[in-house]
A = this chain, B = another copy of it.
């Protein structure tokens, strides 16, 4: 079928979510020490109270707060010292009015006490008599059982990216093996008669296969894994065979290249030749990145990306990275900086424009220069650290404007 059904980025994302909503990314258990940057595959509830007991946050005397009321430097309260609580030891005694226990920082508060008066504000008259010079309030200097975290409380949500903080929580809860989503498996096919391997000699009219490497790194950074990559000539049968192989062993098949009308036709035909819904949309209203095809073949997500390296990076981020993050619920903040734009830049109204930006830091501020040029493909890749998104309703960006620059890592 040779239609050309262009959708906006928003529509494209909705089509992806709608058609691959119940795509089954399985979970697996990995050792805590290797779980950093993976995505949590289950909710984590606390199996402990933290702290596990009422404990003192200072070195001092556990008392009944009412015993300190009215105490002052000139007229101290006088109460008994029953003993000393040792660090890391349980205290089974309790106190009543007129009694106290010495408790070190972190030590357990005896039953009956509802406040700790700091050593600075007391004086020991003798081994069993305490003078209190300052009143304290209810709960003062006590960290109550479960104050930090309560047993049974939801502490880390499924779909959360495992950061250093999350690792700390999992260690504290004593979870040596973590349930995480399996890495989504990608298969990357570069198409085009002009594409050669990166080790091949560059001859006239040939282009090295840049995209399978740039896309591979994006896959890696979004938590996926590349299970296969291949360069395929412009030939329907060859492409179909390769896609067949890819469908069998991967979750998502990326076809890059094929920006020529001929190749686009192949790609659409190949997608439609399998079981399933076939081509879902063909053409994305984004600059750069128009020649994008998304379809379903034998239950798998197939995405044909533009051949231009920058365009394929942009479409990957706009559609596939979005999909993976949504699907797995990765709530992580996408790294970005705010930068002052150094140039006016016109965009195409009616299309979302992703503009690569060269950043430089001046004092505490970032300044961004739109990276363009006639054909600056390699210098663009080397110099731009991020991109801005110009909405389809906008006419461009103005010099001096502050924009959010998403970092390309």
Contact = CB atoms under 8 A, between A and B. Distances in A.
B214 A381 contact: no
Interface stretch (A276-284, A293-301, A368-376): A368-376
Given A148-B377, A375-B143, A206 B50 contact: no
A201 to B, nearest CB: 8
Interface residues of A, number: 85
A217 B55 CA distance: 30
A385 interface: yes
A88 interface: yes
Contacts of A200: 174
A32 B198 contact: yes
A9 interface: no
A18 B199 CA distance: 42
Contacts of A108: 204
Nearest to A32: B213
Contacts of A333: 337, 359, 361, 366, 385, 407
- Max count, chain B CB within 10 A of own CB: residue among A48, A50, A143, A333: A333
A77 interface: no
A86 B206 CA distance: 13
A363 B147 CA distance: 32
A408 B163 contact: yes
A361 to B, nearest CB: 8
Interface stretch (A117-125, A218-226, A231-239, A341-349): A218-226
A33 interface: yes
A206 B88 contact: yes
A379 to B, nearest CB: 5
A313 B164 contact: yes
A249 interface: no
Interface string A79-97: 0000000011110000000
Interface in A159-218: 163-172, 174-176, 194, 198-200, 202, 204-206, 208-210, 213-214, 216-218
A155 B378 contact: yes
A165 B36 contact: no
22 contacts: A33-B216, A52-B204, A57-B374, A88-B194, A88-B204, A147-B373, A148-B375, A148-B378, A149-B379, A156-B382, A163-B217, A163-B408, A163-B409, A164-B313, A167-B217, A168-B313, A169-B378, A172-B309, A176-B198, A176-B199, A333-B359, A333-B361
Interface of A: 32-33, 36-37, 46, 48, 50-53, 55, 57, 87-90, 108, 143, 147-149, 155-156, 163-172, 174-176, 194, 198-200, 202, 204-206, 208-210, 213-214, 216-218, 220-221, 226, 229, 309, 313, 332-333, 335-338, 359, 361, 364, 366, 373-385, 404, 407-409
Given A52-B204, A172-B381, 20 more contacts: A36-B217, A48-B202, A51-B375, A88-B194, A143-B375, A147-B374, A147-B375, A148-B373, A148-B375, A148-B378, A148-B379, A163-B385, A165-B381, A167-B213, A168-B214, A169-B381, A172-B309, A172-B377, A176-B199, A333-B366
Closest A-B pairs by Cβ, 9 of them: A88-B205, A335-B335, A36-B217, A168-B381, A143-B375, A165-B381, A171-B213, A171-B210, A168-B214
